[in-house]
Structure 1
Amino acid sequence: PRLAGVARAKRMLLLGEQVTGSQATDWGLIHDAVAADQLDTAVDSLLARLTAGPTVAIGLTKQAIAYGQHATLSQSLNQELSNLELSCRTSDFKEGLAAFRDRRDPDFQGR
């Protein structure tokens, strides 16, 4: 399905074909498509999920994506290794491992 979505996205970009929000979601181009009257609820839900996650790791992931757009593969892999070392030092990393071991949902604290 992922490759089919890429092919459809190329058709959209190269041929100017319009797609609906639902199609863009199905193709993996956007996170979600909701009706205007559901937007605030959807945003609040997504923000709650993000803030309940391992925020240091999320930040490092965002940084790696941005860095990788301008770096070579070797540079990106070195940056990823550095980010992994940093994230392994966090309390959230330890909590994630403990939660996995205990078969429970993690309680991340952003540290």
Structure 2
Amino acid sequence: MSDRTVLEIADGLARLRLTRPDRRNAIDMAMAGGIAERMDQLVAATDGGDVRAVLIEAEGPAFTVGGDVDHLAGQLDRLSAELDDMITRFHGALARLAELPVPVVTAARGAVAGGGLGLFWCADLAIAGDDLRIATGFARLALSGDGGSSWHLPRLVGLRRAQELLLGGRVLDAAEALDWGLVTRVVPADELATHALAVARELVEGPTYAFGRMKRLLRESGGNTYREQLEAERAAIVDCGATSDGREGLAAFAERRSPRFTGR
């Protein structure tokens, strides 16, 4: 198991932490493999009902600068093969993260760059410190990009702004990222960890099954016609109505009290 990541699961909350602060959490082969292994563990724990929300964090003043350029520069004689191996592992992990049927909160401060942006794009709630800096950085390296930016950015900010970030290499600060809709909220950097943990713990107490169906509806909406999406919504809400949480939510509302969800 890689020492570049830590996964802790307790009381329904999974906390995945990047732990390579001396390299600003740059992603090399070991970290890509570590994230993939942690995601396997996380999927298993979620399937088993032990996880009702996920919080992704990082040690140090930078969330991640993306790919470890020094590592890649040492692999120039086999660069394509190294990129293939690293990104195959990393993208597999991102796909599993995006498909988790529980809410994902990402807390990021400092640099969020390159392929590491994928861990930010997959968040259902992206919480940023006020020292955040977002940069794709691929053009400067003559690389086309990874981490799902070419999929997420047109959906989050539109084609023109996506082109500016990827081809133009524009760097956004926290206020700009909030204005562009790339982050959910901005908080003081020294309050980020506490704030994000509180948000994640609140989600743990929420209607987990309904959250999962909401996520799926949003994820699949881009490929559906309007009629198909209406049918997907009908099927999802009917399924939610068959859950104990669905019944509890309606009963609590009618009785003017706070609901007590179990995640079932």
TM-score between both structures, scaled by the size of structure 2: 0.34
What amino acid is the match of 1:84?
I
The alpha carbon displacement at 1:36 in A equals: 2.4
Classify the secondary structure of the residue corresponding to 2:202.
helix
Aligned to 1:95: 248
The alpha carbon displacement at 1:72 in A equals: 1.0
Q: Give the structure with the higher percent helix.
A: 1
Aligned to 2:114: none
Is 35-44 or 16-25 further displaced after alignment?
16-25
Aligned to 2:202: 49
Encode CA deviations 1:37-72: one digit per residue, 9 max, x unaligned: 222112211111211111100000000000101111
Counterparts of residues 58-77 of structure 1 (less than 5 Å): 58-77=211-230
Q: Please list every run of 5 or more consecutive structure 2 residues that lacks an aligned counterpart in the other structure.
A: 1-156
- For residues 88 and 109 of structure 1, the distance between their equivalents in structure 2, rounded to whole angstroms, comes to 14
The alpha carbon displacement at 1:78 in A equals: 0.8
Aligned to 1:6: none
What amino acid is the match of 1:104?
R
Is 53-62 or 33-42 further displaced after alignment?
33-42
User: Segments of 4+ in structure 1 off by > 2 A?
Assistant: 12-30
Aligned to 2:192: 39
Q: CA RMSD in A?
A: 2.4
The number of residues matched between the two structures is 102
Q: How has the CA–CA distance of structure 1 residues 69 and 81 changed in structure 2, closer, same or farther, with 3 Å as cutoff? A: same
- For residues 18 and 102 of structure 1, the distance between their equivalents in structure 2, rounded to whole angstroms, comes to 50
What amino acid is the match of 1:74?
R
The alpha carbon displacement at 1:19 in A equals: 6.1
The alpha carbon displacement at 1:15 in A equals: 7.5
- 1:60/1:83 contact within 8 Å kept: yes
Q: Which structure ranks higher in relative contact order (CA pairs < 8 Å, sequence separation ≥ 6)?
A: 1
Classify the secondary structure of the residue corresponding to 2:186.
coil
TM-score between both structures, scaled by the size of structure 1: 0.76
What amino acid is the match of 1:66?
R
What amino acid is the match of 1:68?
S
- For residues 107 and 92 of structure 1, the distance between their equivalents in structure 2, rounded to whole angstroms, comes to 8
- 1:56/1:87 contact within 8 Å kept: yes
- For residues 102 and 46 of structure 1, the distance between their equivalents in structure 2, rounded to whole angstroms, comes to 26
- 1:22/1:32 contact within 8 Å kept: no
Identical-pair percentage? 34
The alpha carbon displacement at 1:82 in A equals: 0.6
